[in-house]
Amino acid sequence: MNLKQANILVVDDDKDVLTAVRFLLMPEVKNIVTESNPENLRMLLSKNTFDILMLDMNFNSSINTGNEGLYWLRQVKQWNDKIAVIMITAYADIDLAIKCLKDGATDFLVKPWHNKTLKETLSEVIRKQSLPTRTPYNSERKPGPEIIGNSNIMHNLFLKLEKIAPTEANVLIIGENGTGKDLVAQAIHQQSQRKDKPFIKVDVGALTDTLFESELFGHTKGAFTDARKDREGLIEAANGGTLFLDEIGNITLQQQAKLLTVLQNRKVTRLGANTPISVDIRLICATNIPFTELANEQRFRKDLIYRINTIEITVPPLRERKDDIIPLAQHFLRMYEKRYMKCQTILVDPVKNKLLNHTYPGNVRELQYVIERAVIMADDGLKADDIVFSPIEHIQVDTHTSPTHNLEEIERNTIKQVIERYNGNISRAAVELGLTRAALYRRLNKYGL
């Protein structure tokens, strides 16, 4: 059966959505029925035979408020377990959508969708209708060979990536340093429709104001002193593919305004030029700043957050996925044994226990370095004594200074503590202190810091 032979039922309380879907699908399917009240679902299913039900996840009913889609999905599956159900969701409902997939939904669409994506999704569901049962999620399917995890929290992350990657949605990846945010970004690109196009990574937090514009937007010959020829910016280089902006939370408000203009217009103007260049990119951003801090308007523009955060993914710290420590350690063990031409060994119980009892403030990156050092230093197989955790991850900033009422001393101590807290990142420290970077540099020179 193809889409032209399909009978589709759409249930959504937004009548504008129903009208748009009806006009879009009328020439594409055999029959399209729309309904705004989910209370009529049972009657419609009993009187008609539908191949696909498109079901909204939020209605204005009092039944199971906030989880209405999940409730009606369960009801539908009780009445007719053969119908394919596609959930209609907004970005804030991704976690709930995953629960729906586990409860029998076939797929979900994120509002607002592209018409082409909607038709492709329906066609794919129809194609799979001949299968006897819905293929269950396979825990061995992972979004990339370098992302390792068998814990429940990682299974949920993999499922999220499988659903998000094929879309065109902008993604914000949040996680502590060392959790693997860059690998998640690469996995999204590798499973997207843009996988054969460029994947451009930019550590925007490390760019000065001048470099920010030159690197991202490009420049023309003579735009500034060292501009000896025209140069394509990284946004242009990502045209047709994916642009990954790492440490997005570290850029200044001025940089945010310039980036927002490009993202809104999908056009970039090189430094020294007047003609904008159209770009087609999928945007992925990452930050180690908690979302609650990112939402502070003195630190980050809300309009830019909405632009980059169609879907948010949180990468869990290693301490929350203890089941993955040994598989990760074994992966790094084999990798470094091969690199340093060492004989293969096993992780004996004393080594495993030592690895499992550590809290990993440096996350997966810390574990990787620990295993690399152990492989280099071990003489005859790994022993517990070969597992040495770096003291760097355990340094605590001393916030207890001698009592003083000297304003300059208080300012000096405060600046020092904030600089240390952000590991020398001047941009983030300046935001925390309520200063411009220039003002902070002046104070650093003043106090000899």
pLDDT digits (tens, 9 = 90+) for 343-397: 888 899 999 999 999 999 889 999 999 999 999 998 888 899 999 987 655 444 3
Instruction: Return the DSSP state at 133.
Output: S
> What is the pLDDT of the chain when averaged over all its residues?
83
Note the CATH architecture for domain 3-130.
Answer: 3-Layer(aba) Sandwich (3.40)
Tell me the one-letter amino acid at 203.
D
The C-alpha atoms of residue 357 and residue 355 are separated, in whole angstroms, by: 6
In this prediction, residue 403 carries a pLDDT of 52
Cβ atoms of 449 and 426 closer than 8 Å: no
- Domain 152-314 class? alpha beta
The C-alpha atoms of residue 96 and residue 443 are separated, in whole angstroms, by: 49
Domain limits, CATH 3.40.50.300, in the chain? 152-314
Band the pLDDT of 136: cuts 50, 70, 90.
very low
Provide the 3-class DSSP secondary structure of residue 363.
helix
Q: How far is CA 417 from the centre of its chain?
A: 30
Overall pTM > 0.75: no
Cβ atoms of 354 and 387 closer than 8 Å: yes
Domain limits, CATH 1.10.10.60, in the chain? 407-447
Cβ atoms of 117 and 109 closer than 8 Å: yes
In this prediction, residue 54 carries a pLDDT of 92
What single string gives the DSSP state of each residue in 170-218? -EEEE--TTS-HHHHHHHHHHTSTTTTS-EEEEEGGG--HHHHHHHHHE
- The CATH code belonging to domain 407-447 is 1.10.10.60
Q: What is the pLDDT of residues 282-335, one digit of tens each?
A: 999 999 988 777 777 778 888 899 899 889 999 999 999 999 999 999 999 999
Provide the 3-class DSSP secondary structure of residue 10.
strand
CA dihedral 105, 111, 116, 117 (to 10 degrees): -40
Pairing of strands 171-174, 311-314: parallel
Q: For residue 297, how many other CB atoms are within 10 A of its CB?
A: 10
SS (H, E, C) 213-276: HHHHHEECCCCCCCCCCCEECHHHHCCCCEEEEECHHHCCHHHHHHHHHHHHHCEECCECCCCC
Note the CATH architecture for domain 319-394.
Answer: Orthogonal Bundle (1.10)
Cβ atoms of 347 and 332 closer than 8 Å: no
Which of 146-150, 201-205, 280-284 shows the lowest per-residue confidence on average (mean pLDDT)?
A: 146-150
Band the pLDDT of 113: cuts 50, 70, 90.
confident
In this prediction, residue 318 carries a pLDDT of 95
Cβ atoms of 283 and 201 closer than 8 Å: no
Which of 104-108, 275-279, 301-305 shows the lowest per-residue confidence on average (mean pLDDT)?
A: 104-108
Beta bridge partners of 287: 174
In this prediction, residue 325 carries a pLDDT of 94
Q: For residue 19, how many other CB atoms are within 10 A of its CB?
A: 11
